[in-house]
Amino acid sequence: MWLLDKALRRLIKRGQLTIIDHDGRAYSYGAPEEGLNPVVARFTDRRVAWQIASDPGLGAAEALMDGRMVLEQGDILDLVMVIRRSNRWEDRKGSDKFLKKGSRLKNAWHRINWQRRSKQNVAHHYDIGNQLYELFLDSDWQYSCAYFTDPANTLEQAQLDKKAHIAAKLKLQPGQRVLDIGCGWGGMALYLNRVAGVEVLGVTLSEEQIRIARERAEAAGVADKVKFELIDYRDVQGSFDRIVSVGMFEHVGPPQFRTFFRKCRDLLAPDGVMLLHTIGRMGKPGTTDAFTQKYIFPGGYIPALSEIVGASEQERLIMADCETLRFHYYHTIRHWYDRVKANSEEVVRRYDERFLRLWLFYLAGAMTMFSESGMVNYQLQYTRRRDALPMTRDYLFEDEAKLRAIPG
């Protein structure tokens, strides 16, 4: 316990955390603070303290999942908030080595997303069954950052506004061909067809997602205009007037960044427009934490803006617009977290208690990365030709206003 105790005394500066070790001894850190609920965690065996000190994220997650760390006051989000608020990205003067455990060599190996490995990695997260996602996603199955014009908006409204925001940046015209890379359950593709009269090809590596996407296109009577294929983006052929990719680039991995942009440029018509929506990290490139790599997104990596731009500029794509969405994903995941908690009994019935704690820890960690740590969302608009879009950005606001006027 001495090693963890030493680390926590240095780390916890805001909020109050109490640890009760396996012998019943209590250790208190920090002090009560308005807006942060106090947390009391009890360890059931002597190995928990060493496990957390060795790898804080993975160690704490597995101890919680296995019931070896029990929260006697506060919940998982309260625990994560106390840790993260004490180490806020804006307030740091350097990196905290206690929070940065893990092997860079192992990280680099996992990020080499060959095509076969990409399929396996996608299946790990997205093919666990649609029955989980239907419990917490909005009615259009949008599993990416929403766009909150008002933090008080519903998740459904914010996801609809996200699609309008992206559609405006694509500057769509009826009859155009659109490629949706990483199409999820088909919501974006169906929306673009409905509001702009475009033909869309959506591609994904998830068998669960594509089944639902095809069913939705059939039900909407647009299966001849909105098609979905189970195919790696590297194998797509043809020419497209527009390319959109939302929440997929996080699965590409740095060794494949130039491959991704080279393929997009090859597929994009000379006067085409591309919109890339991805989670990104502020500051310099980093690594993926061990918990996320093991349990959530194997092969996943959150890029720094410098990495995205560095790869795309080498493939002669022109970045016409870049927007940083700072708090939007925090509010999105807050809705997801609350919905999983509200449906906790159903999650346990369909899976088990360990799975519930895993997902609550994942969502709490992800949520606070956007309010306390260094994560944001980037939307980058690309063209092949500098005259492919109007000279000013006025069209974005005009087109978005028209799209928002269309009923959901």
- The pLDDT mean for the chain works out to 92
The CATH class of the 106-404 domain is: alpha beta
| Span 39-57, pLDDT tens digits | 999 999 999 999 999 999 9
Tokens 């996602």 belong to: 133
Burial classification of residue 379, based on how many CB atoms lie within 10 Å of its CB (0-12 exposed, 13-18 middle, 19 or more buried)? buried
Q: Give 100-116 pLDDT, tens digit per residue.
A: 554 454 555 444 555 55
Given a cut of 90, is residue 125 above it in pLDDT?
A: no
Cβ(72)–Cβ(41) under 8 Å?
Answer: yes
* Residue 348 confidence (pLDDT): 96
CATH architecture of the domain formed by 2-87: 2-Layer Sandwich (3.30)
Give a three-class secondary structure readout of 173-216: CCCCEEEEECCCCCHHHHHHHHHHCCEEEEEECCHHHHHHHHHH
Residue 117's pLDDT band (cuts 50, 70, 90):
low
What's residue 111's pLDDT? 47
pLDDT tens per residue across span 59-103: 999 999 999 999 999 999 999 999 999 889 988 775 555 555 544
**Residue from 248, 371, 262 nearest 302 by CA:** 248
303: helix, strand or coil: coil
How many angstroms separate the CA atoms of 176 and 190, rounded? 14
Residue 120's pLDDT band, with cuts at 50, 70 and 90, is low
The predicted-structure confidence for 7-16, as pLDDT tens digits, reads as follows 999 999 999 9
DSSP state of 240: E
Nearest to 84 by CA among 377, 375, 374, 368: 368
**From the CB of residue 131, how many other CB atoms can be counted at a distance below 10 Å?**
12
Q: Return the exposure string of 202-225: e unless at least 16 CB atoms fall within 10 Å of the residue's CB, then b.
A: bbbbbebbbebbbebbeeeebeeb
Q: How confident is the model at residue 408 (pLDDT cuts 50, 70, 90)?
A: confident
All CATH 3.40.50.150 domain ranges of the chain, comma separated, are: 106-404
H or E stretch at 335: helix 328-342
Most confident option among 93-97, 216-220, 348-352: 216-220
Pairing of strands 15-20, 26-31: antiparallel
Give the length of the chain.
408
DSSP secondary structure code for residue 139 in this structure: T
Domain with CATH 3.30.1050 in the chain: 2-87
**Looking at the whole model, is its pTM more than 0.85?**
yes
